[in-house]
Structure formats: C-alpha cells, structure tokens
Amino acid sequence: MPFFDFFFRFFKAFVTFPHLVIPFLLPIHILWTIDSFPVTILPVQDRNRRLTVKKNDELLLTADGLDSNQAGVCRHEGMVVFVPGLLPGETARVKIIKTEKRFAIGRMESPSESPAPFRRIPDCPAFPRCGGCSCRHMTYEATLEAKRLQVQNCFHQIAGLDLSVPVPSGMEDPTAYRNKTSLPVGGTADQPLIGFFASRSHAIIPVDRCPNAMPPAEEIIQAFLRWIRKKHIPPYQESGHCGILRHLVIRTNLRGESMVTVVGNAPSLPCAEDLVQALIPLKVVSLFFNSNREKSNVILSDSFHHIYGRNTLPVTLCGLRFELSPASFFQVNPIQTEKLYASVRSMANLKPDDTVCDVYCGVGTITLMLALHCRKVLGIEVVPPAVENAKRNAAFNGIQNADFLCGDAEKILPRLVSDGMKPDVIVVDPPRKGLAQAVIQAITQAAPDRLVYVSCNPATLARDVQLFYESGYSVNQVQPVDMFAWTSGVETVCLLSKRTAV
C-alpha cells in the first residue's frame, strides 16, 4: 500500500503542478558542448547503470563536452565522469575523488598532452582554487560560445524547442566589471584572511586582488586587513560560532565611490571610528555594520547600523539616477546591464499609450526605464527596502507614471488580474528558481500582447517558457548577455507573444 499511495500522490502532483515536478525528472546534469561535439543528456540506461569506477581509481579519460559548471564530461564504460578543468577534445590522467549513484567526479592528475585550441593560461593566481570563476582557462570567445550552447540546449532538452540562440552580448574588456564584491573573513586577529570560498567548501582562498572587481576593492581590502591587525578584531570562526568579523561587502559606482558594509557576529562594530579614518582616503562615502548573529550561510541579516557618510550610494544607469541601500539588489555589471536593459526595451516595443507590469522589480531599474516610453508602469517587489528605494528613485528622476506595490508576486499578481488588470506588456525578472505556478497562471489570464522574461537561470527559463508555450505563447526572440564574465552564469532576455489563431 505505501508504494501505491506514493505513486498516486506523485501522479496527482505531476498533473496539478507539472512545473514543480518536471525538474526532478530531468537528469542531474544537462550537458552541452563546444563547436562540433554532440548535444547529449544522460540516457536512462546510463543513469541507472551500476558504477564501474571507484574512488582513487586513476583513468585516462577524454572529455567530449562540458557540463553547466564548465567541468569536462568524460565517459568510462558507459559511466559519466565530471572533471573540472578538462576541456572538450582533451585527454588527461584523472583520479576519481568522489562517486555518486549516477556519476563520478575526477581530478586531473596531469595536464593534457594536446591542449584544446581555446585553452589559455589563467590570468588569476587564485584560479581554480577560488570558487568565484569557472572558466579562466578558456579564451573569452570560447566562454561566450559555451554560454550560447548552454541556453540553446536548455530550450531543446527542457522545453522541447529548437531555437537558434545568438552568441551572448559580450564585453570589449571583460575585467574589473563587478560593482559589488562580498568577501568572507577568516584567520586570526594577527593573521586575518580575506578572499573567496574555495569551490564546494568554506575554506577561504586569500585574494589580494580580484580581476573581476572594480579597482577600489583592492585598496579597501588592504586597509581593512591593516585595521584588523592594528585593533586585534577577531575574525569569525564558523566551527565555534565565535569571533566577530564575518564578511566585507564592497559596492562601487562608476565614479569610484564605494559603500562598505562590515558583517559581524556582534551587536555593534568595535573600533568603528578607526576604520572610518582608514577608509575615507579611499573614496568610501558610506559605512554600515550588519549584525548577523545567526549560525547561517546567509551573508546579511536585516539588522543594519549606519556608521558613517551617506545612507545610500548613487549610481547612474540608462540615463537615470538610482540610490542604493546596503540591502538593495542591483545588477553587478553596469556596462552589461545597459545592454541587457536595451534588449528589454527593444523587445517590449512600447507605444506611448501602453501599460506595463514589471514583476520582481527590485529597486525599479527596469520599471523606471520603461516608464519613459509608455503611459503607465506598475512594479511589484517583495522586499520592503527595495520598494522604498524604488519610490525614491522615481522621485529623484521626476517620474510620475510609475507605481510600486510591496508584496509576494504569487499573491499580488493574481489579485490584480482578477480585479481586471490587463497590461499590454508584462516584464518578469525572477530569482533563479523561476516563476511560481500562480504567477504563470495570472500572466496567461491577463493575456498581455508581449511578455519579456529576464532570467539568470536558463533551466528554469526553459521550464517556464514551455508552460507559456502550452498556454498559447510563442518565443519570438532570445538574447543572452554575458553579465558574469569568466563564470558559468549567463543572463537571458526572452520575448514571448500570443500566437495568432489560424
């Protein structure tokens, strides 16, 4: 009986909430390749095959593709082995370091004797130990092609759509692009460490300079380390939940001004005035302390204490001015964000009398940009400080045709649609998990002429696009944007419109 009860419940869930169940039926890894390598998913027989490799085995393996984290995909007697650092076409001696039920993970013991033509010498001494980047060993052009295939293959394998996806809009100079850097703090008061967590670990890899971060970060990090040593402020120790300093968060605008947030396991920041004096010469215009006393991997709590300078950091984007608080979500790559939003504006194709609903609007960047080209825009956001920032940003820019509602989109949007809201265009920019079923149902009920979907996760984008396709929408345009150079991340803008009846 338990089995039949489980089967019945699973079938009922599949029928009622397919968008939640389908991802669990998909393979663990969607595999995609560079150039002429075949696009493949682990077949059922491979997924159910008994492992033919054991931990500590050493094998000579050849990669025939890359997974979504840029690890090489190899096969041994029908079993899949993922090898970080190995590129398609390369052969290397690999040691098996971990085995799972359906796959294994290996480590390169020696470099390939025949390097791939798109392999390069990494330009960061912390790579690949640092978990921040996954593909600094590839040429930039190769990373763009890899991301293109990642998006295209997600549409093919998950949504069942054979779309021709263009190469992501890339950067002329893919360095020093991040306007926000979050660095864990460790070590001791005498020998503090600041850097990034190693991949799949909480071991801190010390980083003096991150090539992805805007230049002020390096000097701020060094000043912070000197302050720790001088004042003997103990870094946080995760194992014993003791010590104070947990993270250093640096946010910088294009004028070189920075907002610094120190995260600590304490009610207040000791020796704060000394830190202020150390940071002022570095164009730090704002200093906050975030008190995070929880045993958690979440970096920021809700408890912020203003120590010095401005309450917000001014930034300019798409000709508009925005004020960011320490908790504000804002795209980390300002140059590429301009390209991303240009795609959104182009796909929305607004007319002067159009109305727009911007779901998951954050601090109102897309909302206010679109407000310049239409009659009315409504932004929906669940984070209260972000909504307050959005309202202030509208006032800063003299925009009066944008309104904002604070609340969960799953609850607000269905209510608005039931009350008769029918915008001409809906824009969604959800978190990585994608859209909830209630949001999808509300959008299809509102039946906008155009739906612009901004996504940071190609897999959930494809899943949701499939549901919209089944509800009468077609994909008209897809444009990836390389927001996170040298990482596996890719942002994608997708235009859907209602299919006309034949």
Place of tokens 């009986």: 1
- Closest Cα to residue 456, out of 490, 487, 427? 490
Q: Quote the CA–CA distance of 334 and 93 in Å, as a whole number.
A: 41
Q: For residue 374, indicate whether it is catalytic.
A: no
Query: CA-CA distances (angstroms) from residue 75 to 79, 113, 444?
Result: 5, 19, 43
Query: What is the DSSP code string of 184-245?
Result: EEEE-SSSEEEEEEBTTS--EEE-S--TTB-THHHHHHHHHHHHHHHHTPPBPBTTTTB-SE
Residue 213 is encoded by which pair of tokens?
């971060």
Classify residue 170 by burial, with Cβ atoms within 10 Å: 0-12, 13-18, 19+. middle
CA distances to 64, 95, 149, 497 from 37, in Å? 6, 24, 11, 33
Contacts of 45 (CB under 8 A, 6+ apart): 78
Beta carbons within 10 angstroms of residue 110's beta carbon = 10
Catalytic residue among 74, 154, 374, 456: 456
Residue 439, both tokens: 């949001």
What DSSP letter does each residue of 122-139 carry, written as one string? -S-TTTTTBSS-S-TTB-
Instruction: List the catalytic residues.
Output: 456
